[in-house]
Structure 1
Amino acid sequence: MAPLRQLPGVGESTVRAREALAAVHRRPVNLRRPEITGAEGVLRGARAGAMIDGAGVVRGDRGEESEVLARHIDVYSVLAPEFVQDTARVFLRSPLQVLARMDVLAGGTGRPERAVGELSVLAATVTSGADPDLLPGIVHGQLLSTSAFGARTGVVARAASRLAAVAGGFDPRGLAVPEPWLNRHRAEYLAAGESFGSGAGGVGRFLVLHMRSYQAGAEEAEGIAAAL
């Protein structure tokens, strides 16, 4: 994936995201008790992701969680601090197995609705030990652009991206919370996801956006750490 770093803005945005992530990982609370800040980050990510996917309210008339939010929390449970490292190791060996599990948690069958060939290529990329900084964005963008899991693709893509960031060491403790930024820039995000498969320009556009979301996600994690 070395040529991807030469696309306009990709190298620079990757450096900025890396620096922001390194800073938040050095916070004392994240060195002592990353499971606390990590758990809050997972929940915030699920809630913001549900809003991207159309959950207009967090709770219904009788106080129950909306179905969209409940599904997002189920999928993001694989990112919970007590599970994420084990799941990340499985992801690096058998990414399609983990994607199938996420789809089931999102309410699907565990089988892709389309783009089976593209998923096989993505799986080969994951297991090849590809650039760990860019892998989360590649996973994210490739899944979005193919809509492999139909209406459930968004939550699967965002959770899989975060898992890839843990697995490859880009965000080894899973502290960053990129979803609030993605929700605030929802139209730009969804358009970039659609353009990912349109060639190098689309890939570069999405990777820059992805890195911006992780830089902002590190700032979100800073806020969580500061509140503890």
Structure 2
Amino acid sequence: MTEADAFADVANLPGVADAVAEARAAVDRLLGHRILRRRSAEVSTESALRGARASAALEGASVTLDELRTTENPGDPIVQGALRVSAELGTLSETWRQAPRQALARLHVLAAADAVDSADLGRPRTGDQPVTDVLKVGTTPSPSEVAGRLDALSGLLTRPTKAPALVVAAIVHGELLTLQPFGWGDGIVARAAQRLTLVSRGLDPKSLTAPEVGHAELADDYATSLRAYASGTPEGVATWLRHCSAATAAAARDSLAICEALLRG
């Protein structure tokens, strides 16, 4: 990848443009639904809840939507973390655009507040911290490599790019899950960062879709595609980008179903 526009270089990998176009068309169909003229906030709220449930499930915590709606304290720290992240995501868009490292730290504080020592919240892991590798990525980069790649990613995010928002979001997600920068809750943080990118870069400005739902729907492909990305080969990266596109399209269809349910009353 060239330093000038690394995201755009990745967007040109085989099959990526078509997959991104299909996902964009699915999101556009959602954004054109007539119910959104007056009830978009309800769709965003329901999407956030479904996204939190899906993200928790991908971390190994099972909870139903009814339980999330009716239980004041779901109990499981993974579920609680996913809910806190989902609830505060909308306030972090501007921070994500200007100071990505700061936004990531806040996401980890929200995700891991009930699971790790307070001194470790929002801080990249050190050499003696364990890593919870839920998806069995198989990579545990050293703290120094984590720091360097996070700096590089943050630099890219604050520079202009011609790449579609979905490509940028997928790379953010893949990098964070490959680096596992915090050691616990990295999946929740990575999926939230993908969603933040789609919001802040204009693909889904009202956060109506929950990519987490799409990843959960395609859970087997999620893990295998992530491992392909972690390999670092062009083919592996393209596989991951195509998966993220398919997950976004699936999420848009899910949100479209929410719109139809509201329309029917």
Match of 1:205 among 203, 215, 239: 239
Q: Which residue of 1 aligns with 2:30?
A: 24
- What is the identity, as a one-letter code, of the residue corresponding to 2:223? L
Q: What is the correspondence of 1:116-127 to structure 2 with a 5 Å cutoff?
A: 116-127=147-158
Q: Which residue of 1 aligns with 2:212?
A: 179
For structure 1, list consecutive stretches of 5 or more residues without a partner in the other structure: none
Task: Determine the C-alpha separation between the residues in 2 that align with 1:151 and 1:186.
Answer: 20
The amino acid across from 1:192 in the alignment is S
Say if 2:195 and 2:207, in contact at 8 Å, map to a contact too: yes
Counterpart of 1:92 in structure 2 is 97
Q: CA deviation at 1:177?
A: 2.0
Residues 92-135 of structure 1 deviation map (CA, whole Å, 9 limit, x = unaligned): 10011010000011125101113111111111111113322311
The alpha-carbon deviation at position 186 of structure 1 amounts to: 1.9
Question: Which residue type is aligned with residue 100 of structure 1?
Answer: A
1:68 aligned partner, one-letter code: I
The answer to whether the 8 Å contact 2:26/2:252 transfers is yes
Equivalent positions of 1:40-79 (< 5 A) are: 40-58=46-64, 64-65=73-74, 66-79=76-89
Q: What is aligned with 2:19?
A: 13
- Relative to structure 2, which stretch is displaced further, 198-207 or 160-169? 198-207
Quick one: which amino acid aligns to residue 94 of structure 1?
A
Identify which of 102, 105, 109 aligns with 2:110.
105
Residue 74 of structure 1 aligns to which amino acid in structure 2? R
Matched-pair contact (CA < 8 Å) for 1:45–1:177: yes
Q: Structure 1 residues 57 and 44 mapped into 2: Cα distance closer, same or farther (>3 Å)? A: closer
d(CA) in 1 for partners of 2:217, 2:247: 10
Q: What is the distance in 1 between the residues matched to 2:92 and 2:63?
A: 30
Which residue number in structure 2 is paired with residue 216 of structure 1?
A: 250
Is residue 2:201 matched to residue 1:168?
yes
In structure 2, C-alpha distance between the alignment counterparts of 1:199 and 1:35, rounded to whole Å = 41
- Deviation >6 Å, runs of 4+: none
- Counterpart residue identity of residue 69, structure 1: V
Letter in 1 for 2:104: L
Deviation at 1:169, TM superposition (A): 0.8
| Backbone CA RMSD of aligned residues | 1.8
Q: Which amino acid aligns with 1:122?
A: L
**Structure 2 gap segments, 5+ residues each:** 1-6, 126-142
TM-score under structure 1 length normalisation? 0.91
Post-superposition CA distance 1:135-167 (Å, at most 9, x none)? 111111111111112121100000010000000
- The structure whose residues are more often helix, as a share, is 1
Q: Would you say how many aligned residue pairs link Structure 1 and Structure 2?
A: 221
Asked which structure has the greater CA Rg, the reply is: 2
- Whether 1:36 and 2:42 are equivalent positions in the alignment is yes
Taking the aligned partners of 2:182 and 2:106, their CA distance within structure 1 comes to 12
Deviations 1:144-198, CA, capped at 9 Å, x for gaps: 1111121211000000100000000122211112223312322321222233232
Is the CA contact 1:25–1:31 (under 8 Å) kept in the aligned structure 2? no
